[in-house]
Amino acid sequence: MGSVQLVTTILAAAITALAVWLAVQAVLRIVAVVRLGQPDPGRFGDPVTRTRTMLAETAGHTRMLRWSVVGAAHWFVMVAFVVLSLLVLEAYFEVVSPTGGLPLIGGWTVYGLVTELIAIFGVVGIVVLIAIRIRNRPSRPGGRSRFTGSTMWQGYFVEAVVLAVLIMGFLIRGFKVATDHFEYPTWATPVSHAVGALLPNWEAGVSVAALIKIMISMTWLIVIALNVTMGVAWHRFLAFFNIFFKRDPGRAGSGLGALRPMTSNGKPLDFEEADPESDQFGVAQVEQFTWKGLLDFSTCTECGRCQSQCPAWNTGKPLSPKLLVLSLRDHAYAKAPYLLAGGGKDLTGEEKATAAQLAHVDVLALAEAEKPLIGGAEEGGVIDPDVLWSCTTCGACVEQCPVDIEHVDHIVDMRRYQVLIESSFPSEAGVMLRNLENKGNPWGAPQNTREDWTKGLDFEVPRVGEAEDFEYLFWVGCAGAFEDRAKKTTRAVATLLHEAGVSFAILGEGETCTGDPARRIGNEFVFQMLAQQNVETLNEAFDGREKSKRKIVATCPHCFNTLGNEYGQLGGEFEVVHHTQLLAHLVATGKLTPVQPVDGGVTYHDPCYLGRHNRVFAPPREVLGSAASEGITEMPRNSERSFCCGAGGARMWMEEKIGKRINVDRVEEAMSTGAKTIAVGCPFCSTMLNDGVNGKGAGEQVEVVDVASVLLRSVRPEQNRDGQQAEPVAG
Ligand code: SF4
Ligand code: SF4
């Protein structure tokens, strides 16, 4: 070993020892913080599916590739990071000897070729990512960036390190070429040979370049070890675990659809026995999230994909799902020293730790612990109430997140505490909750008017119990029964089912709200009350039938979601379809035949709880495609990337006081297609978009109408717009 190699070896060993020691401390700290969370036993089942999904999402970049250029660039960088770790390892042999290399595979042409190619694509990929970050930097003139609120220096630092390490790899190989110590042929390593042609024949160059590469890599490790909240770097390790432990790993759109049940100490809460003094009601302290929640917060890469799709953020509300996650992460890590010392409040609000336990806790951690989780700026709150209540639970954030963070569950968990314990929520929603409790529907309409929509139809609508047999139970929903526009959809669906010869029956006055708005606002108690009643009614209606024959068709995607995805949590197992799915099937099988094309252009707005939450994208389009003369003109934001109407998450029952109205934003997009018909598949979307169209004074030019009504006009051109005969049948 020459004197240069002696120095490079000592320096490489010293910085590596320091970096590894700090990294181990950092990993222990992250694990300790995540372990502060509540139990979540459901995260360990079906390890085979979990492993398969994790590998598909990481190796295949199935989520990120939807953003094709970014996804492809990131894929190459990820592969480069994993494979070229071998080259960092190789550098340790090269600091010792300029002819050093990896044992066994070093010198193998295939290894030389593969690493060369990956390094070339890695350089291209990281340059693309840097260019994208610079182009979308928050400080650029005009527009909001998805990186707004991200810690930009960390992103640039990580990207610069990756680029520098890749370049140093070529320099090491170049010096080997220049000193004639390189084993690989030119055809397999063309860039390395080209670099070598430019370098001097300096024997020590290999070891010096290898030392620089190690120092850059270890500096990166030291920096991230000292910044455990640096998600842009830590996600490289944490993302595997976060994806592995996501809920419903086998389901497309996991983290969407059903909400997680309310749990205390890892067990679903039973309201008949629950006690607020011993059971946790929602989340009031950051450590009351489950450990998976804390892992979610730790894993956020700060990429801002969620933010760029969020309807609240895009219309000037204070909510950004990314900033919400970052606030919770920073708060959790800042509060952690206090919690790890034994601190924390019990469920009655009493401090658990003794003064001696807290004596050595940093004052900043003690101050952080005093912050309310939900509170305005004046109280030093971590999450502002306006942030919490701006969410429509549309799921765009969950859909977009490349590391499967479950934002909606966390938001609703925080709402649950605010509603159930603090009674603190937008006051206008109180009327809706009272109506649900007292009348079983959010409008407070009398129960005996639930069947009024059947008046004027030219056929009898049978009730369960009266009908001899029925294939589908037609779940009308509160909007479908009480809201004038939605009643037209209900009539249209009933007419089409009747026309197609589908046997169906309704519950009539036996139906109550599914509880969706109560659950999404956080009132799990009212949800459970309504849901248990409905499950009982439905189980009775389907008595003796196996699950595949317990078929329900619903026109409201919120009912569809709750009945199909959430009632199972309470013992109600049903086969639920949305009316657009059933209608598409009836058209495809020739039971319904559109005869008159609908003119003037049609665009389709995907309801969040039908599309993103339940992956029903094609059937409504198939129905419209069969009925519209020109097919569908898609809006720029459609299908998985559809933009919310603003009504979900019980926002239908709250005033929208901040920023631009979400429904107006969506209507402008719909109208930009030039279509005269905006088709919807949800009564709430219908209301919101109708309001938006009317607010723009375009009610005469553009019509918002349900997919079923569009089909009915094509199947029965003589039908008027109310889904009734042009000449109503008398008596
Ligand atoms: S669910 Fe929708 S509104 Fe709520 S934070 Fe996510 S993207 Fe924003
Ligand atoms: S999409 Fe996911 S990883 Fe990216 S900023 Fe949002 S929460 Fe973080």
pLDDT band at residue 726 using 50, 70 and 90 as cut-offs: very low
pLDDT in tens, 544-573: 898 889 999 999 999 999 999 999 999 999
Question: What is the identity of the amino acid at 186?
Answer: T
Instruction: Please check whether residues 555 and 677 belong to one and the same domain.
Output: yes
The span from the CA of 269 to the CA of 276, in Å, is 11
pLDDT value for 67: 66
Pocket test for ligand 2, best of 66, 67, 302, 327 (most atoms within 8 A of CB): 302
Ligand closest to 326 (CA) is 2
Report how far residue 78's alpha carbon sits from residue 71's, in angstroms, rounded to the nearest whole number.
10
For ligand 2, atom 2, the nearest C-alpha belongs to 401
Q: What pLDDT is attached to residue 79?
A: 83
Q: Cβ(310) to ligand 1 under 6 A? A: yes
Q: Taking the CB of residue 376, how many other CB atoms lie within 10 A of it?
A: 12
**Average pLDDT score over residue span 18-35:** 98
The structure tokens listed for 297 are 């917060």
Say if 727 falls within a structural domain.
no
Q: Does 165 score more than 90 pLDDT?
A: yes
Residue finishing a domain among 375, 397, 421: 421
pLDDT at position 483 over 80? yes
Report how far ligand 2's centroid is from the alpha carbon of 386 (Å).
20
Which residue, by CA, sits nearest to atom 2 of ligand 1? 394
Q: Which residue from 177, 211, 268 is spatially nearest to 96, judged by alpha carbons?
A: 211
Shared domain check, 625 and 531: yes
> What does the pLDDT average to over 671-675?
95
pLDDT of residue 151: 87
- E strands, 137-243, in order: none
Residue burial 251-272, b: 16+ Cβ < 10 Å; e: rest:
bebbbbbbbbebbbeeeebeee
pLDDT value at 63 more than 90: no
170-181 residue pLDDT tens: 999 999 999 998
Residues 220 and 316 placed together within one structural domain of the fold = no
Instruction: Tell me: do 117 and 191 sit in the same domain.
Output: yes
Domain of 163?
Answer: 3-138+145-244
- In 108-230, which ranges are continuous DSSP H helix? 109-135, 152-178, 190-198, 205-226
Residues with CB under 6 A from ligand 2: 300-306, 321-322, 325, 400-403, 405
414 touches ligand 1 (CB under 6 Å): no
Task: Please report, as a single letter, which amino acid is at residue 169.
Answer: G
CA torsion sign, 647 to 653 to 654 to 656? Answer: positive
Q: Same structural domain for residues 155 and 293?
A: no
- Beta-bridge partners for 38: 290
- Contact between 17 and 221 under an 8 Å Cβ cutoff? The reply is no
Shared domain check, 209 and 68: yes
Mark residue 280 as left, alpha or beta (left: phi above 0; alpha: psi -120 to 50; beta: remaining).
Answer: beta
Question: CA 95: distance to chain centroid?
Answer: 46
pLDDT of residue 86: 84
Please tell me whether residues 327 and 460 are part of one structural domain. Answer: no
Q: Alpha-carbon distance 317 to 641, whole Å? A: 19
**Cα of 173 from ligand 1 centre, angstroms:** 48
The tens digit of pLDDT for each residue in 616-659 reads 999 999 999 999 888 899 999 999 999 999 999 999 999 999 99
Q: Which residues contact residue 709 at a Cβ distance below 8 angstroms, ignoring those fewer than 6 apart?
A: 488, 489, 492, 721, 723
Q: In what order do the strands lie in the sheet with 703-706?
A: 602-604, 677-680, 703-706
Burial 461-492 (b: 16+ CB within 10 A, else e): bbbbeeeeebebbbbbbbbbbbbebbbbbbbb
Mean pLDDT of the chain: 92
| Residues 449, 392 within the same domain | no
Residues 462 and 515 in one domain: yes
CA dist 140 → 128, 159, 277, 351 (Å): 18, 19, 51, 47
> Which residue puts its alpha carbon closest to atom 4 of ligand 2?
303
What does the pLDDT average to over 398-417? 96
Q: For residues 341 and 336, give the distance between their C-alpha atoms in angstroms, rounded to a whole number.
A: 8
Q: How far apart are the first and last CA of the chain?
A: 105
Q: Please give the tally of structural domains in the chain.
A: 3
Mean pLDDT of 591-609: 93
Q: Which of 327, 397, 608, 613 to mutate to test the pocket of ligand 1 (most atoms within 8 A of CB)?
A: 397
Position 507 scores a pLDDT of 95
Which long-range contacts does 87-90 make (Cβ < 8 Å, 24+ apart)?
Answer: 87/115, 87/119, 87/169, 87/213, 88/165, 88/213, 88/214, 88/217
Q: Assess contact for 269 and 279: CB atoms under 8 A.
A: yes
- In this prediction, residue 203 has a pLDDT band, given cuts at 50, 70 and 90, of confident
Residue 143 has pLDDT above 70, yes or no: no
The two tokens of residue 523 are 């009132």
Question: Domain for residue 710, yes or no?
Answer: yes
**Could you tell me if 680 and 707 are in contact, meaning their C-beta atoms sit under 8 angstroms apart?**
yes
Q: Which comes out higher in pLDDT, residue 82 or 95?
A: 95
Given a cut of 80, whether residue 722 has pLDDT beyond it is no
Structural domain includes residue 343: yes
What is the per-residue pLDDT across 570-585, written as a single tens digit (0 to 9) for each? 999 999 999 999 999 9
Q: What's 511's DSSP letter?
A: -
**355-378 pLDDT per residue, tens:** 999 999 999 999 999 999 999 999
Q: How far apart are CA 316 and CA 659, in angstroms?
A: 4
- DSSP state, residue 472: E
| 574 lies in the same domain as 433 | yes
Question: Which range, of 132-146, 187-201, 493-507, 712-726, averages the lowest pLDDT?
Answer: 712-726
Cβ(693)–Cβ(667) below 8 Å: yes
Atom of ligand 2 nearest to the CA of 299: 3
d(CA 255, CA 395): 8
Mean pLDDT, residues 193-210 taken together: 94
Which residue has the CA at smallest separation from atom 8 of ligand 1? 310
Q: Residue 485 has which token pair?
A: 């526009």
Query: 467 versus 296: which is more confidently predicted?
Result: 296
| Pairing of β 551-554 and β 602-604 | unpaired
| Residue at 301 is within a domain | yes
Cα-only R_g, the chain: 30
Residues 233/224, Cβ–Cβ less than 8 Å: yes
How many residues appear in the chain?
731
344: in domain: yes
| pLDDT of res. 725 | 47
- Residue 728: its pLDDT value, please? 34
| DSSP reduced 3-state for 577 | strand
469 and 400: one domain?
no
Pairing label, strands 263-264, 267-268? antiparallel
The atom of ligand 2 lying closest to the CA of 302 is: 5
Amino acid present at 365 = A
Predicted pLDDT at 730: 30
Distance of CA 599 to the CA centre of its chain: 36
Residue 300 belongs to some domain of the structure: yes
Instruction: Give the pLDDT mean for 193-211.
Output: 94
User: Which of 391, 409, 637, 660 to mutate to test ligand 1, by most ligand atoms within 8 A of the CB atom?
Assistant: 391
pLDDT of 731 over the 50 cut = no
699 within some domain: yes
Mean of pLDDT values over 46-57: 94
Is residue 204 located within the same domain as residue 305? no
Check residue 729 and give its pLDDT.
Answer: 31
Positive or negative: CA dihedral 261, 267, 268, 271: negative
The pLDDT tens digits of the residues spanning 79-93 come to 888 877 888 899 999
pLDDT for the residue 718 = 75
Locate the ligand 1 atom nearest the alpha carbon of residue 321 and give its number.
Answer: 5
pLDDT for the residue numbered 81: 81
* Average pLDDT rounded to a whole number, residues 278-287: 94
Q: Which tops the pLDDT comparison, 167 or 468?
A: 167
Mean pLDDT along residues 60-83: 78
Residue with CA nearest ligand 1 atom 6: 397
Instruction: Identify the H or E element spanning 679.
Output: strand 677-680
Identify the pLDDT of residue 199.
Answer: 95
Q: Give the pLDDT confidence score for residue 328 in this predicted structure.
A: 98
Q: What is the CATH number of the domain that holds 340?
A: 1.10.1060
Q: Is residue 406 part of a domain?
A: yes
Residue-wise pLDDT for 309-358, tens only, equals: 999 999 999 999 999 999 999 999 999 999 999 999 888 888 999 999 99
